[in-house]
A = this chain, B = another copy of it.
Amino acid sequence: MLSESKIIGFLKNQFPEQIGDDAAILPLSKHKSYVISKDILVEDIHFRFKYHQACHLAHKALQVNISDIAAMGATPQYVLLGLAIPDHGRIYIDQFLENFSAICKASSIILIGGDTTKSPDKLFISITIIGLIANSHIKFRNRAEDGNLICIAGNLGDAHIGFTALERNIAGLEPFKENFLKPNALLKEGLWFSKQRDVTAMMDISDGLFIDLKRLCMASNVGAKVDIDKLKFSDTFKLACEILKLDPMVTLLTGGEDYGLLLTIKPEAYSRIASKFKACFGYQLKAIGQITKGSEVHFIQNNQLKTLNLQPFAHFGESL
């Protein structure tokens, strides 16, 4: 059975030095590197015309890519835009391009190229983004160490609530819908973490905490225990889940597309980093568990091992 992880596994086996982080490194000088990443958005897989306005989509397409650059700790510099446009997407595209250009300019990102072609029926958006970073600041996902604290910046599960409400045509729940339609990459936070030496590993959470933590552990050759009691959800979150008949813990652990940051921090540095983070960004850096030896990701509740039956977010097999 084909899957995204099998494809990446095959390619990583072929090119073991290069594949496997949010973005790849393009050597630039002794002190600096470019980082480069590409993300594809496909109509009716990642977005729908019926609820994604062109301005939303332009914002989302760029932010999804910026998130990969932020996760390395870099600053986005350049972007290439590829579009395959179906007949029904033509009216939509003018507004998409205007918004895309405006957002690039507002973010000091320069559009340097791309490709445009016709598509038989669905709109495909393929973006390549290039960032710049000091070599000593690059954060990889394969450097987590036994004993590090697992930390989260940003929301978990909110976008999935918004997505579910939009798909089921449920009125209200606007802040959640906004999270799904117009996510914001944690660019400033990524840059800030890149300068903290005691942040050992970092990646973005695009496919949900459950699967992305597994990826971080696999890359770092470690395991993890997640303290479920530390995964708090607000009353609004709980109420939204009730309305949509979603399990709040499952939604929080497996909902994708929030584009928060997952990081590991040396335990002795956590309180210093967390209080500076709170002072700087006005919200909490949450410690939710610890990196362990081994390779398993365990969930703990009331000091007991808890078995959760979670289905990771996967493009193959998902039906939007």
Instruction: Tell me whether A82 and B315 are in contact in the complex, defined as CB-CB below 8 angstroms, given that A42-B117, A112-B24 are known contacts.
Output: no
What 1/0 flags go to A98-141 for Cβ under 8 Å of B? Answer: 00010011000011111111111110101010100000000000
Partner of A112, one of B4, B18, B28: B18
Report yes or no: B128 in contact with A38, Cβ–Cβ below 8 A: yes
Provide the bound-state CA to CA distance between A81 and B4, in Å. Answer: 13
A44 is an interface residue with CB less than 8 A from chain B: yes
Q: Please tell me the number of chain A residues within 8 Å of chain B, measured between CB atoms.
A: 63
A34 is an interface residue with CB less than 8 A from chain B: yes
- Tell me the smallest distance from the CB of A9 to a CB of chain B, in Å: 11
- Tell me the smallest distance from the CB of A201 to a CB of chain B, in Å: 18
Q: Tell me the number of copies of this protein.
A: 2
* Residue of A84, A119, A122, A317 contacting most chain B CB atoms (<10 Å): A84
Partner of A7, one of B93, B119, B316: B93
* Residue of A8, A10, A122 contacting most chain B CB atoms (<10 Å): A122
- Tell me the smallest distance from the CB of A60 to a CB of chain B, in Å: 14
Given A36-B80, A118-B318; 10 other pairs, CB 8 A cutoff: A7-B83, A11-B97, A14-B111, A24-B113, A36-B130, A37-B80, A40-B84, A45-B84, A82-B126, A121-B121
Between-chain CB contacts (< 8 Å), 29 pairs: A2-B85, A2-B94, A7-B83, A7-B93, A11-B81, A11-B114, A14-B105, A15-B104, A15-B110, A15-B111, A19-B113, A21-B113, A24-B78, A25-B112, A26-B34, A26-B130, A36-B80, A36-B113, A36-B128, A36-B130, A38-B82, A38-B114, A38-B126, A39-B82, A42-B84, A42-B120, A45-B120, A120-B122, A122-B122
Chain A contact residues, CB within 8 Å of chain B = 2, 4, 7-8, 10-11, 14-15, 18-19, 21, 23-26, 28-29, 34, 36-40, 42-46, 78, 80-85, 90, 93-94, 97, 101, 104-105, 110-122, 124, 126, 128, 130, 315-318
